Chain A
Amino acid sequence: MTQSHWPLYEVFIRSKQGLAHRHVGSVHAADDQMALENARDAYTRRGEGSSIWVVKSENLVATQPEDREAFFDPSDDKIYRHPTFYTIPDGIKNM
């Protein structure tokens, strides 16, 4: 008999009044449905109205720490890339 494989899942939760899903942790589960149930038990305490996403960890692609400069730094010292030199007409709101 082969032992079943319990891969790692990452859990994202949107709380009842929350706007976006936030990463809250991870669980092990044998399949997607079980991952949802486990996440619900471990992370929501049944706070009704919340939404849960589970994603197999192997499906996530992350940026590498050593790429930080190439990825994130360049824009800081190029102020011409930021749209701050325009005057916004009076009629436009919420900008």
Chain B
Amino acid sequence: MTTTNASLRTYALRLGDTPLILSHRLGEWCGHAPELEIDMALANIGLDLLGQARNFLTYAAQLSGDGVDEDSLAYTRDELDFNNLLLAEQPNGGFNDTLVRQFLLDNYHQLLYRALSESRDPQLAAIAAKSLKEADYHVRYSSGWMIRLGDGTDLSHDKVQQSLNALWRFTDELFNADGVELELAAQGIAVDPESLRQPWLAQVGNTLKQATLQLPQEVPYRRGGKQGQHTEHLGFILAEMQFLQRAYPNCNW
């Protein structure tokens, strides 16, 4: 495997791991959402994300060779080998916490996929173009709810603001580039995440303003997800997600 190929594989894994873990989180809501309609919408978004994860992981598996496939990548890697953003693995909490996590990541994904659909890697560009349509819808949904709750009752406003303050420390990681991204960005394959920071702040800030919410202050930021250094939550997600595959390895389903 050439260096570029190895970097490309890592990059594709990162792109797949975030929606994979986030879709697992959304799956946990099934049957527990505040309204039947919200239940359906969360499941819908979760399914979109799982589809995106499958596309990116299948591509990463192709680049790996050696009989690796999307299932072995999802079910047999341990947390140190997972490259998702820390924000995606945060617990669902209340609807306010889930909504804010979704809102921050949806806006990020929308910008990322728009830029990535111009990638010089045709496979990445195609997956991004498909995912962008879904991300556009997710942004609509989560922004709508941010405004509805932020500009809702005093209680709903305070709850959303609290979630925003609590999750803000995971947002800087979205824009931290490391060697892998810089190398591929220089070749026109990857998106340099730093280039998404200002548009994201503008977009998120605009919705928060409509929602009468405050952009949180600078905080001690957490990062490391892309390098396999996770918060304490990911291990539990994987224990649940991978149980069957580890108990009965290599079975067909």
A residues at B contact (CB < 8 Å): 1-2, 4, 6, 27-31, 33-34, 37-38, 41-42
Q: Check A28–B144 contact: CB distance below 8 A.
A: no
B36 on the interface (CB 8 Å rule)?
yes
Q: A28-B36, A37-B141 are in contact. List 14 more A-B contacts (CB 8 A).
A: A1-B153, A4-B152, A27-B37, A28-B37, A29-B37, A30-B148, A31-B148, A37-B41, A37-B144, A38-B41, A41-B37, A41-B41, A41-B44, A42-B40
B36 to chain A: which residues have CB within 8 Å?
A: 28
Q: Which of B143-170 contact A (CB under 8 A)?
A: 144, 148, 152-153, 155
B141 to chain A: which residues have CB within 8 Å?
A: 37
In this complex, how many residues of chain B approach chain A with their Cβ under 8 Å: the count is: 13
Q: Check A38–B155 contact: CB distance below 8 A.
A: no
Q: Check A38–B40 contact: CB distance below 8 A.
A: yes
Q: Check A28–B35 contact: CB distance below 8 A.
A: yes
CB distance from A10 to the nearest CB of B (A): 15
27 sampled A-B residue pairs with Cβ under 8 A: A1-B153, A1-B155, A2-B153, A4-B152, A6-B35, A28-B35, A28-B36, A28-B37, A29-B37, A30-B148, A31-B148, A33-B144, A34-B37, A34-B144, A34-B148, A37-B41, A37-B140, A37-B141, A37-B144, A38-B37, A38-B40, A38-B41, A41-B37, A41-B40, A41-B41, A41-B44, A42-B40
Q: Mark B40-61, 1 if CB is under 8 A from A, else 0.
A: 1100100000000000000000
B residues at A contact (CB < 8 Å): 35-37, 40-41, 44, 140-141, 144, 148, 152-153, 155
A6 to chain B: which residues have CB within 8 Å?
A: 35
A37 to chain B: which residues have CB within 8 Å?
A: 41, 140-141, 144
A4 to chain B: which residues have CB within 8 Å?
A: 152
Report the nearest A residue to B155, measured CB to CB.
A1
B144 to chain A: which residues have CB within 8 Å?
A: 33-34, 37
A31 to chain B: which residues have CB within 8 Å?
A: 148
